[in-house]
A and B are shown apart, each in its own frame.
Chain A
Amino acid sequence: AQKITQTQPGMFVQEKEAVTLDCTYDTSDQSYGLFWYKQPSSGEMIFLIYQGSYDEQNATEGRYSLNFQKARKSANLVISASQLGDSAMYFCAMREYYGNNRLAFGKGNQVVVIP
């Protein structure tokens, strides 16, 4: 069963605007972690932001913020003031602590920032 769902099609975003990438997850564990990674065309995986299941406040890292709604099992990424360098694939991932600490990835969102 798919644990991480990212269903948005490819997105075009105007430079300097904000963009929200949706992510929903499925788990029966109480303890888990949620991650967002950026993957540019070079292929490297760049860590953006982390949210623990027990964290009461939404995580923020510079222009990235995570809108964590635990009851709805969603962990949307918000990128503010988009830059051309933000064009990439974005993956949501979940770590279940009882699953050998492995990460399960969603299918990803393609974002293209246009000037």
Chain B
Amino acid sequence: GAVVSQHPSWVICKSGTSVKIECRSLDFQATTMFWYRQFPKQSLMLMATSNEGSKATYEQGVEKDKFLINHASLTLSTLTVTSAHPEDSSFYICSANGAANPYGYTFGSGTRLTVV
């Protein structure tokens, strides 16, 4: 079935540094990638939607200069958290939309980011 590989699964970084999270669709073409963040015991909040080859669409309140999303190919999308701060510590998860997915969505396994 459709698989999305997300890595790293967890990362600890120092405040002020940047972290890149990758989501790669292994056996299908991801025309759209959705990026979510989830705080402990809360729901998934959509951060942005990206389509291959075009600029990402960010949800209201999400800083596009802080959360850089690149969807350069149909199999790879990246989220870069720039100048990370402790309040950026969260669980980030991607979801790919493509023709091969049953009912439309395949989630990555998530990345737990801790900024110290």
Contact = CB atoms under 8 A, between A and B. Distances in A.
Interface of A: 33, 35, 37, 42-45, 47, 50, 91, 95, 100-108, 110
Interface of B: 32, 34, 38, 41-46, 49, 57, 91, 93, 95, 97, 102-105, 107, 109-110, 112
Contact of A44 (B43, B97, B105, B107): B107
> What secondary structure prevails in chain B residues at the interface with A?
strand
B112 A105 contact: no
A66 to B, nearest CB: 13
B43 A107 contact: yes
Contacts of B93: 43, 45
Nearest to A46: B107
A31 B91 CA distance: 31
